[in-house]
Amino acid sequence: MVRQTVSVDLPIGRARWVALGAGLAGTALVTIGCLLVGHVRTTIPALLLLVPISVAGVLGGVVIGVVVAVVAALTYALAFLPPIGHLRIGLTEDVFVLATFVVVAVLVAFISDARRTRASTRPPDDERAALLRGVSHDLRSPLTTIKSVSTDLRDGPDYDSATRAELLNMVVDESDRLDRIVGNLLSVSRIEAGALLPERSACDIGEIVTKSVRRFERLGAVAARFDVRVESNLPAVHVDEVQVDQVLTNLVENALRIAPPGSTISVRAWRQSDALVGVSVLDEGPGFVSTEHVQVFAPFQSGTGSSGLGLTVCKAIVEAHGGAIDIGRSPGGGGAVTFTIPTA
């Protein structure tokens, strides 16, 4: 049996009117019902009136919940508290009931809003499944390599020093790759918690670019060439060096993932204005299609089997520095990702 869930999104104004109508109608029904029954204890209609108050608070929020609570309290005082039909203002049961109704309306509304907020920040089931598949794919590859090489070094033949050093470097490189994946996951957690705060200092963007590219040049399996061009006399940038290095590393790794064998990955850094330095990573792959302009920076949108979190993290870091990031086409027809960061 297939179960279908149908959700209806109402405009905020209409939803509040519906909540107000439901609360007032419920108040009227409870009042009329209790009056028709007759000779009921005053606590019974008071408890029953909490139902429409709670409904109004859940559907309409604090304001609508309080409005219904006030109406319900006045109705209760006029219809059930002696002298019937007269309202007394003072430190009486009338005021106590009004305060209780209002408190219940506010509490119910706040609890409901908090639950909706937590639900809205959780990715839908299909996105959570995509994240699980992507992260599993990302983690399996370096772990498989590390296990294979380590097992070979332990149980295999006695390698010469050069081969042994090459295999150990492969373990180190794959461990670094594993560390980058975990770093992206932690960054996503900090983004969702609003805690991705750069620790800025004056840095040399040329050194950051060079360090990031050399990290990949050490990989013997890299089938692309690097072309790094950093404009001379660039001013220092005012950034978190670790975070900007993470941006460059993610962009270069993405370019390498889609770059054809023997192609060139180009990294450029130049002075865009007195306040900004621009950095680009260009590849000779298939490039981006026009429909990807917005979606490419959303999580779970990789389309390569990976988690698709790299560009999401890049966008969050760049914007946290007051810069901007965008995609385009390289002169060779491939993809290009360009971002800006502030100078010192």
pLDDT, tens only, 52-98: 888 888 888 888 888 888 888 888 888 887 777 665 655 456 677 77
d(CA 292, CA 176): 29
**Helix, strand or coil for residue 213?**
helix
- Fold of the CATH domain 201-342: Heat Shock Protein 90 (3.30.565)
What pLDDT score does 55 carry?
86
Say if 128-193 and 201-342 have the same CATH topology: no
Topology of the domain comprising 128-193:
Helix Hairpins (1.10.287)
What mean pLDDT is reported for the chain?
A: 77
The residue among 302, 299, 307, 308 whose CA lies nearest residue 192 is 299
User: Which pLDDT value is given to residue 164?
Assistant: 81
Which pLDDT belongs to residue 272? Answer: 93
For 159-197, give one letter per residue: b (16+ CB within 10 A) or e: eeeeeeeebeebbebbeebbebbebbbebbeebeeeebe
The whole-angstrom separation of Cα 308 and Cα 229 is 28
Number of Cβ within 10 Å of residue 84's Cβ equals: 9
**Closest by CA position to 202, among listed 241, 238, 242:** 238
Q: What is residue 91's predicted lDDT score, i.e. its pLDDT? A: 47
Domain range annotation of the chain: 12-121, 128-193, 201-342
DSSP class of residue 3?
Answer: -
Q: Environment class of residue 18 by beta-carbon count within 10 Å: exposed (0-12), middle (13-18) or buried (19+)?
A: middle
Is the pTM above the cut of 0.75?
no
The residues of the chain scoring below 70 in pLDDT are 1-13, 85-94, 116-141, 177, 180, 184-185, 188-189, 191-195, 218-223, 289-295, 298-309
